[in-house]
Homo-oligomer: A and B are copies of this chain.
Amino acid sequence: MPHESGKVARKLLVTQYTYIKIEIVYVFMISDPVFNRNMSILIKNTRINQKNQDILINEGKIESIAPNQNENSAELIIDGTKTLALPGLVNTHTHAAMSLLRGYADDMHLQEWLSEKIWPLEAHLTGEDVYVGTKLACLEMIRSGTTAFNDMYFFMDHAAQAVDESGIRAQLAHGIITFGDPEKFAAEQKATKELVSCVKKMKNQRITAAVAPHAPYTVPPEHLKWCAEFSEKEDLGLHIHVSETESEVQSVLEMYGKRPAFLLDECGCLTKRTVIAHGCWLDTDECALIAKRGTSVAYSPCSNMKLATGRALPYAELKAAGATIGLSTDGCSSNNNLDMFEEMKFASLLQKSFWNQDTVLPAHEAFRMATECGAKSMRLRSGILAIGAPADIILASLDHPSMVPLYNDTSNVVYAASGGLVETVLCDGALLMHKHMIPGEAEILEKAKATATELISQVS
């Protein structure tokens, strides 16, 4: 130890420090796999649309929104003081289990990234890995205020199990890639049907299945047609990547002589149940067609920027045509997180920047995109705080410098907040996070770390 002569002076200064003992008492759910949507809950004194309100939740739904409600009306009281109540956010396109690949390969050219890094690692993924990765993703989503997501990956029965345990909503689909190979197609049909059957058996109203042909350049028209027919017959969502890059649009044009949206329409894939991911390179006619069909688009600004897709979503054109546009993070290997607050800011700023228009996609539109429009595109009744709506509610702290002052709640939410401000999350009327605490979080994180270590050891 140098500075021995300064010891006395320093010791005296220690008196400037003291111990502060803080005792916190939380009401919290014991880690329980059956989420309790039957509990009546009253959120007291939270802020909704610039006013202080109480929200009464019963049987998984919002029963009333009004100030000064009777505390006897509920079995559990949550103090919402200094919080802003928002609908749970809806992530309309992701690959949840790719959370396990977060930070594994960045800053590479797209093709090398896929062929040298992502695909070789994915070749080793097991159903258990997908379960663990989806648990990690759900945990991150809950932490950052997302209560529903639209997923496309594989081993989706394992993903369903993870979602069931996590307490949030998801529409799950097995990603179908055939490149026209009949054997591959038969296997993908089987996987899709098995997932549908698995989800039906679960009888969990938070979980639905969908059909997910990967993209028009990886799944030929005859297979796309089966996807359209099967999803219609079973009343399932349809989830597909469309026009993320210019080169895939060129491929489709060369192979089929028409642009992707028109090809999809011919195959019956543009429905009200369909979510198109990306859509960066949609042209004006395609935007109009998509809107006309009632098909939704999932905008993934971070992913599009990080992978340099070369064009931003033609938001103004889609909006003018009347299309439903939801917001999405894409998977963690191309983002690298699932924070929909951050995504709202990227959504607005990318439009302003790319199209060189400082007024395009204002805060309130980015917010609707992440809530109401996303819910609509997944055929959910959540995404709004209204009587009778599902109680998918998040409370974001206002007791943070980035939320002060509060001239405009939505501006602060979109441009200044981050997912870390979310302190309480309810989905389907069940309490998933309270005061930043999630039961079982430590175990999920440890398991994810171990799984990632094991996974990477197989490719290195």
Contact = CB atoms under 8 A, between A and B. Distances in A.
Given A103-B416, A408-B106, A13 B25 contact: no
Interface in A350-379: 350, 352-354, 356-359, 362-363
Interface string A136-164: 11011001100000000000000000000
Given A2-B63, A17-B27, A407 B39 contact: no
Given A17-B39, A342-B418, A352-B305, A405 B102 contact: yes
B405 A100 contact: yes
A361 B299 CA distance: 23
A337 interface: yes
B308 A448 contact: no
A103 B100 CA distance: 36
Interface stretch (A3-11, A176-184, A194-202, A227-235): A3-11
**Identical chains bound together, number:** 2
A387 interface: no
A171 interface: no
A382 interface: no
Interface in A278-321: 302, 304-308, 310, 312
A23 B21 CA distance: 8
A104 interface: yes
Nearest to A140: B401
B6 A337 contact: no
A225 interface: no
Contact of A420 (B345, B404, B418): B418
Interface stretch (A29-37, A87-95, A262-270): A29-37
Interface size class of A (residues with CB under 8 A): 35 or more
Interface string A42-83: 000000000000000011000100000000010110000000
A274 interface: no
Contact of A337 (B139, B305, B338, B416): B416
A2 B449 CA distance: 46
A412 interface: yes
A99 interface: yes
A415 B106 CA distance: 9
A349 interface: yes
Given A17-B28, A17-B30, A59-B3, A136 B404 contact: yes
A335 interface: yes
Interface in A386-414: 399-402, 404-408, 411-412
Contacts of A346: 346, 349
Interface stretch (A107-115, A203-211, A247-255): A107-115
A125 interface: no
Nearest to A59: B3
A188 interface: no
Contacts of A342: 342, 345, 418
Nearest to A24: B22
Contacts of A39: 10, 13-14, 16-17
Interface in A415-450: 415-421, 441-442, 444-445, 448-449
Contacts of A339: 402, 418
B405 A449 contact: yes
A66 to B, nearest CB: 14
Contacts of A348: 107, 306
Given A107-B348, A305-B353, A346-B346, 17 more contacts: A9-B38, A10-B75, A11-B75, A13-B36, A17-B30, A102-B411, A102-B416, A106-B363, A108-B359, A113-B358, A143-B402, A306-B415, A337-B415, A337-B417, A353-B353, A399-B442, A418-B419
16 contacts: A10-B38, A14-B39, A16-B32, A16-B36, A17-B27, A22-B25, A99-B404, A102-B402, A102-B407, A103-B407, A103-B416, A143-B400, A306-B348, A336-B416, A418-B419, A420-B421
